[in-house]
Structure 1
Amino acid sequence: MSPGRNGSDVPLSAGPRDLFDASSDATAVVRADGLVLGWTRPAEALLGYRAREVVGDSAARLLGMRGDPVRVASVAVRCRAGMGWSGLVLLRRRNGERVEVDLRVSASFRLGPDECFLISARERKQQWTVGQSVLDGFLTRSPVGMAVLDVQLRYVWLNDTLERFGGVPREQRLGQRVTDILPGMDASTLEALMRKVLLTGIPVLDHEYVGWSWADPYRQRAYSCSFFPLVDADQSVTGVCYMVMDITERWKARQLLMLVNEAGTSVGRTLDMARTAQELADFAVPRFADFVVVDLLESVLSAQGQGVWLPEAELSVARPLMRRTGMSSVREGCPEAVARIGDTVDFDPVPRQANLLVHGEPIFVPVIDPATPLWDDEESDRNTRVREFGLHSLICVPMRARNTVLGLATFMRSQNPVPFDADDVLLAREVVARAALGIDNARRFSREHTAAVTLQHSLLPHALTGGTAMEVASFYLPANAAGGVGGDWFDVIPLSGARVGLVVGDVVGHGITAAATMGRLRTAVQTLADMDLPPDELLAHLDDLVLRLSEEEDDGDGDGADRTSTTVLGATCLYAVYDPVARRCAMARAGHPPPVVVTPEGEVSYPELPAGPPLGLGGLAFEAAEIELAENSLLGLYTDGLLLGADRDMELGMTRLGESLSQPSESLEALSSSVVRHLVPVPQPDDVALLLARTHALSPDQVAEWDVPLDPAAVGDARARVIRTLEDWGLAELAVTTELIASELVTNAIRYASGPVRLRLLRNGRLTCEVGDASSTSPRLRHARSTDEGGRGLFLVAQLSHRWGTRHTSGGKIIWTEQEIP
């Protein structure tokens, strides 16, 4: 007997591993269209067809299975390329019986004008047998554990590999069941699967399970089992054979990958450093460790959120201050911990690696020797807790992200008897790295949020005063951290003539850009208000400013290419001017909610003001409206964040606001605070600003006014009336300067303007002198030369008064001055 094809001495019977033999194999010649041209005697013996029954007919009827044109075409292409093909095919015998054959198709060749193929076939039978020595060596030395069990599922035979897997000697297994030998290996499930195989005869492949074995009772192992029935010659099931492979490494790698993926979804879900650190500790216990602490650098947790930049050679101090930020244990209350959450801890790495945070690799102590202290001081609390609670394995991982040192995470085991291994170190590094990214994101967000809040607070007014015209109070509630800093603002601006300007606005968007834009708009409103512009004109100028800011933003983002649209920095605004003499309030709004008015009797109303477009659209006009306010009326200006609560219903919010403002309160400060807390009980994604003003009116004894004829002789009478009024008000010390101011202003009005001319004195926090005329020309302050005969009037007025200015009215202009009252 010649050697087999595998080069061994194993005798092989005739089978598909032998070369096809044309003298004994069934052979036929088939034309490319499937017509049989030649038929041999072995072919007659194999299928029972004589040559005259087959030659000249299609070979398709010889198939014992459904035709597959695609497969036939691919085989033909291969054979035309000069290569043959072989495979298993079902053929049908003459008596209808189907037979499985090994089929071989030769490369195509020409027979006259026809393309033909030589096809050989051999019935598939028992392929090979091996000697006992080969079989014994294969079974005993195979890396796959194998066993044979009888129909009662008792061990009949097993190989050395399976004996080594279970750690139970062969003599103790034979005649016993799996449940008797390995109760911790999920034996009941295995026996249920084997009974199913015995009952159905269908094999079970690649069943994975996790358990332990006596060979290594403290470490989990993973196995893959396959079961198939054993049958005798009469097809009776005589037992079951199972094969076992140790897939612990593959299973552990899969578990590690699953843990890493789970950590990605469980750790770092918020932009909160403390919460992320605690999420890391909670995730690792008890999945990975029995006790976990996370300590972050104090500088990371500070308001500035500064870490340590890795390119620096060392930390600024040898033992940087850290704070316990996250902690978890399998024992309730974390009794193993020396420091609690929030406590400061000294950086004292294990074992004494001072540069661990910046340049060190993770510290791995697989087995802690209780007799050898981990820390320098043998009697330290840390060493005592290690011995007391049986902490026997440790991993310390520095927390670093984006070239920044953040802190240190420590993992320890006590109740879990299995020590950490090298794979656990890799897992700890990966999980800590993901947590470090979350903490670094939170640190950056916290730092930017703090900067934005600081900028915003610096741009809002720190003190408000309405003078004698009104009592004012405000309340500002920032958006939650997730929403970011908004662009809401408010202001109270003293104006000439004892009037007061009230403004509230809201810049679209959040963040530092919104806060900076808010500051620019607030400054612009103050500047425009000082020009005594009516509310509608002020909003028109403010709209132009927002358009310019949008164009600057658009130009800054571009690269010089032509752009067809600009970036709109949207904003809304409401501006109101209250006159305590006339008790009237002029208002205009740019896409902002209307103000709320509460009368002294408690009636609530929302004045119908023209809505106006939001700032930044351009090309649309703003309209002003004027209402009369009774003394002690309450005027409320607010942003939409106050109304849009959880239900996001504007009308319902306006109703709730009116009801809250109509409630009695000791002071405006208390009222503003209670209203916001009631309407917005928890922080919202948008800022909330509320400005309240209680109006007052100037009494008749605080106002004096006269019409002045267009006659230079009337100036003397005006001076005399001013002196008498100031003496009646008890302000005789201001009589001389006020007489001079009134004389200059009235003289200029008579000389350069047109009538009527009106002189008015107001006494509130300051003494105001106003002279109005019908001319729209504003006076100009000049510095006269020594040779000039005139031009010094307004210069003297400016020197004698605290401030002075001009405001235009529908009928002309008013020149006003203010003096401090001693």
Structure 2
Amino acid sequence: MPGVSLSPPGGLLDVLGVGAVLLDAQGRIVLWSPQAEQLFGYSAAEALGRYAAPLLVPERSTALVLRLFDEVIREGRSWAGVFPVVCKDGRIRQLEFRNMRLHDDQGARYALALVTDRAALREVERDLAFSTLLIRQSPMGIAVMDTDMRYVSVNPALTRLDGVDEEGHLGRTVRDVLPPTHAREADTVLHRVLETGEPVIDREVLGSETPGGRGHAWSVSVYRLDDSGGRPLGLSISVTDITARHQAALQAELARERLSHLAEASVRIGTTLDLEQTARELAEITVPELADIAAVDVLDAAVRDRPAGISAEGGATFRALALAAGYPTVAVEAADPTGQVARYGAERLVTRCVATGQPVAVPAVQEEDLSRIARDEHAAGLLAKAGVHSYLAVPLIARGEVLGALDLKRTRNPKPFDHDDTILACELAGRAAVCIDNARLYRQQRSIALMLQRSLLPTPATGSTRLRIASRYQPAGAHSEIGGDWFDVLELAEDRTALVVGDVMGSGINAAATMGRLRTATQTLARLALQPTEVLHHLDQITTGLDPYFATCLYAVYDPRGNRCRIASAGHLPPVLVPARGEPRLVEVVPGTPLGIGGGTHSTVAVDLCPGDLLVLYTDGLIETRRDDIEDRLEVLLGLLRPVAGSGDSLEQTCDLLLEALRSPENHDDVALLLVSPTE
């Protein structure tokens, strides 16, 4: 029997309150456990040395009890059942008994009674019946040791549990009976219980695993037995086979770990709509918990939104998106280079996985398997050097379409991939596949929307011969949808020029389409020779009919006769005027209400715009950030334009300067920028 070590009370025996009572051949109580005191009400001092029958048995049951006791003592007949017992307070309780005969090293016979409350036992039995962890409880083994810690009595159940017969126990110590690997620990525990009197209850002891992977487990409890004077008489040991419970607990723990892994994956995978980032998140979530090396390969056709054209015979073109390793290893060098597109042969297992849409597992990788896992012989040699011993590939499937595969390898983890690992990998791959598909679709839709928006914007060369013009449109960061920002330069009658910058609130294709409508409407209204405020008034009415969209707009008309520029704003940020000689300043134009609110009023401000002066019109994407105050950012803009005044820098250079200084890759809004400067 394996060794014993301490654990806190709270096991099954403690819940049941199993009492141990040892009777001598005359029926006197010679051993009385603390649990017996709890059950009967008599302390050890009150019970020890007394005859059990007159103390505990109702008069009507005395004859039966004496006969059964006689059978136990004389015949060694063990029995079990429910008997009424008279407690110290006079109550009669129905208690469950297990009785058996024990022998000491002198040949004396004892009747050992294990007793518990019937109601408590029935409650535990009902609980156990519904418990998945305790399918069936094995019989309990019992042993009694003397103060020299030699076995003086064992029951048949114990001999079955440890495989040593009764004679092999009696007179011997645990060092003589248990395997050496466990005997020393058990001997230490027994000494401690004998010295302190503190019991060890429900201590789980594990045996070595069998070749099939299943190890035995026992619940061991050790009590010190005292006489009526408190003098230690020895030890009582109970052993229960809890292998089924232990295995169930292991399975439950594995299930909890997998659920925790899936919960973590839900948080870590799909944090952005970036295809490569999502693939990296999938690879990283699998190491080192599930695999030592992980790779994510997707069909290049899926990324390009083309028919996959994959077959189990012809292979397919893949794009390696991500690679992760739990530790530095040469196996990384064997992986397909991240970001590259390559043709995977039909013989490769990852190709078969994607072609069939089914997991492919090689629990125990042999030398011939490496050539089907790696891309070539050199890579196969690196995998062998790295110690790859188990392989698993699971498909990435979203909305019924196979997008690629998650490729897993184990090197340091000694366990082969099993069915549970495959289920977990498929769960992770399934969740990631939806995120990858979303990122793929988003990339396609964003590209379409961006093409639509660019097609609606004027070409950089558009403009008046009376003005030098530079313009830029820059979409939001790669992970954000496009917006509805636009600019326009319109030639009007009498050499005048209309300058327009606007921003449709919202994002996506719909916002871009709304921007196109407003730009068309602005072009039409501008040719009617309306005042800036009148143009904004009509645009407001048009936008109101485009519910739920709103827009801001800055409309200006430059008249070279007198070098005047009349400006009106509908909730837009003020333009910046940079005199050829002087400090840049914000034009004090009344913002007015945004387009689409309805019923708003707008006013016009006139400023001088002379040759060499610069007027900067922009949308909020140029200066707004999630961290900074808008006023502070406007000051930064003015500071960037201060050296431009009279510097002779081209407008194109100034556009690049502003975008480089004020924009970053993570900007979540697009920007339209328009710079105009009158010519001589």
Under a length normalisation based on structure 2, what TM-score does the superposition of the two structures give?
A: 0.70
Structure 1 partner of 2:62: none
Counterpart AA for 1:325? L
Structure 2 partner of 1:685: 668
Q: 2:254 aligned with 1:258, yes or no?
A: no
389-398 or 342-351, which deviates more: 342-351
Q: Which runs of 5+ in 1 are unaligned?
A: 1-12, 14-41, 48-85, 92-96, 102-121, 136-140, 551-567, 698-822
Counterpart AA for 2:575? P
Q: Give secondary structure in 1 for the equivalent of 2:367.
A: coil
Structure 1 partner of 2:449: 452
Q: Give secondary structure in 1 for the equivalent of 2:99.
A: coil
Distance in 2, Cα, partners of 1:667 & 1:190: 91
Structure 2 partner of 1:268: 270
Structure 1 partner of 2:286: 284
Deviations 1:601-637 (A, max 9, x none): 1322223223221101122332222222233111111
Distance in 1, Cα, partners of 2:521 & 2:176: 94
Q: Is the 8 A contact 2:329 2:386 kept in 1?
A: no
Counterpart AA for 1:437? V
Deviations 1:180-232 (A, max 9, x none): 6169xxx989988996898574665586x9x8835359x69796856453535
Q: Give secondary structure in 1 for the equivalent of 2:412.
A: coil
> 1:596 offset after TM fit, Å?
1.3
Counterpart AA for 1:215? T
Structure 2 partner of 1:528: 525
Distance in 1, Cα, partners of 2:187 & 2:267: 35
1:399 to 396, 400, 406: 396
Q: 2:339 aligned with 1:339, yes or no?
A: no
Deviations 1:695-746 (A, max 9, x none): 235xxxxxxxxxxxxxxxxxxxxxxxxxxxxxxxxxxxxxxxxxxxxxxxxx
Q: Using a 3 Å threshold, how does the CA distance of structure 1 residues 144 and 128 change in structure 2: closer, same or farther?
A: closer
Q: Is the 8 A contact 1:366 1:393 kept in 2?
A: yes
Q: 2:345 aligned with 1:362, yes or no?
A: no
Distance in 1, Cα, partners of 2:492 & 2:336: 60
Counterpart AA for 2:323? M
Distance in 2, Cα, partners of 1:88 & 1:491: 101
Structure 1 partner of 2:485: 488
Structure 2 partner of 1:174: 174
> 1:570 offset after TM fit, Å?
0.8
Q: Using a 3 Å threshold, how does the CA distance of structure 1 residues 669 and 192 change in structure 2: closer, same or farther?
A: farther
Counterpart AA for 1:680? R
Distance in 2, Cα, partners of 1:222 & 1:284: 31
Deviations 1:86-116 (A, max 9, x none): 999999xxxxx635x4xxxxxxxxxxxxxxx
Structure 1 partner of 2:210: 215
Distance in 2, Cα, partners of 1:189 & 1:648: 68
Distance in 2, Cα, partners of 1:177 & 1:499: 109
Structure 2 partner of 1:326: 322
Distance in 2, Cα, partners of 1:390 & 1:589: 69
Counterpart AA for 1:270? T
Counterpart AA for 2:300? E
Aligned runs of 1:50-129 on 2, under 5 Å? 98-99=89-90, 101=91, 122-123=92-93, 127-129=97-99
Distance in 2, Cα, partners of 1:197 & 1:663: 91
Distance in 2, Cα, partners of 1:396 & 1:677: 44
Q: Is the 8 A contact 1:595 1:607 kept in 2?
A: yes
Aligned runs of 1:614-763 on 2, under 5 Å? 614-664=594-644, 666-696=649-679
> 1:344 offset after TM fit, Å?
2.6
Q: Is the 8 A contact 2:583 2:642 kept in 1?
A: yes
Q: Using a 3 Å threshold, how does the CA distance of structure 1 residues 620 and 276 change in structure 2: closer, same or farther?
A: closer
Q: Give secondary structure in 1 for the equivalent of 2:542.
A: helix
Structure 2 partner of 1:575: 555
Q: Is the 8 A contact 2:147 2:194 kept in 1?
A: no
Distance in 2, Cα, partners of 1:193 & 1:505: 86
Q: Using a 3 Å threshold, how does the CA distance of structure 1 residues 263 and 131 change in structure 2: closer, same or farther?
A: farther
Counterpart AA for 1:340? P
Counterpart AA for 1:98? D
Aligned runs of 1:221-620 on 2, under 5 Å? 225=219, 227=221, 229-232=223-226, 234=228, 236=232, 238=235, 241=238, 243=240, 244-245=242-243, 246-247=246-247, 248-302=250-304, 304=305, 308=308, 318-332=314-328, 334-335=330-331, 337-348=334-345, 356-370=353-367, 374-375=371-372, 380-550=377-547, 568-620=548-600
Deviations 1:667-709 (A, max 9, x none): 1111122123222344322222221111235xxxxxxxxxxxx
Q: Is the 8 A contact 1:500 1:578 kept in 2?
A: yes
Q: Is the 8 A contact 1:591 1:611 kept in 2?
A: yes
Distance in 2, Cα, partners of 1:503 & 1:541: 15
Q: Is the 8 A contact 2:190 2:222 kept in 1?
A: no
Aligned runs of 1:773-788 on 2, under 5 Å? none
Q: Using a 3 Å threshold, how does the CA distance of structure 1 residues 630 and 142 change in structure 2: closer, same or farther?
A: closer
Q: Using a 3 Å threshold, how does the CA distance of structure 1 residues 527 and 205 change in structure 2: closer, same or farther?
A: farther
> 1:271 offset after TM fit, Å?
2.1
Counterpart AA for 2:225? V
Distance in 2, Cα, partners of 1:497 & 1:197: 113
Q: Give secondary structure in 1 for the equivalent of 2:451.
A: helix
Q: Is the 8 A contact 1:486 1:687 kept in 2?
A: yes
Q: Is the 8 A contact 1:474 1:690 kept in 2?
A: yes
Q: Give secondary structure in 2 for the equivalent of 1:473.
A: strand
Distance in 2, Cα, partners of 1:511 & 1:88: 82
> 1:403 offset after TM fit, Å?
0.8
Please say which structure displays the higher CA radius of gyration: 1
Q: Give secondary structure in 2 for the equivalent of 1:381.
A: helix
Aligned runs of 1:767-806 on 2, under 5 Å? none
Q: Give secondary structure in 1 for the equivalent of 2:235.
A: strand
Distance in 1, Cα, partners of 2:632 & 2:621: 13
Structure 1 partner of 2:3: none
Q: Report how many aligned residue pairs link the two structures.
A: 553
Q: Using a 3 Å threshold, how does the CA distance of structure 1 residues 533 and 450 change in structure 2: closer, same or farther?
A: same
> 1:445 offset after TM fit, Å?
2.1
Counterpart AA for 2:541? D
RMSD: 4.5
Structure 1 partner of 2:66: none
> 1:143 offset after TM fit, Å?
4.8
Q: Using a 3 Å threshold, how does the CA distance of structure 1 residues 457 and 426 change in structure 2: closer, same or farther?
A: same
Under a length normalisation based on structure 1, what TM-score does the superposition of the two structures give?
A: 0.59
Deviations 1:422-474 (A, max 9, x none): 22222222222222222122222222222222222222222244433211112
Distance in 1, Cα, partners of 2:216 & 2:585: 75
Deviations 1:287-346 (A, max 9, x none): 1222222211112333x5x575xxx9x659932100111222344154352422123333
Distance in 1, Cα, partners of 2:274 & 2:413: 31
Distance in 2, Cα, partners of 1:197 & 1:399: 62
660-669 or 243-252, which deviates more: 243-252
257-266 or 362-371, which deviates more: 257-266
Distance in 2, Cα, partners of 1:272 & 1:339: 21
Counterpart AA for 1:396? A
Q: Is the 8 A contact 2:484 2:512 kept in 1?
A: yes
Q: Give secondary structure in 1 for the equivalent of 2:469.
A: strand
Deviations 1:557-587 (A, max 9, x none): xxxxxxxxxxx31101000000112211111
Q: Which runs of 5+ in 2 are unaligned?
A: 1-26, 28-53, 60-81, 104-110, 113-135
Q: Give secondary structure in 2 for the equivalent of 1:98.
A: coil
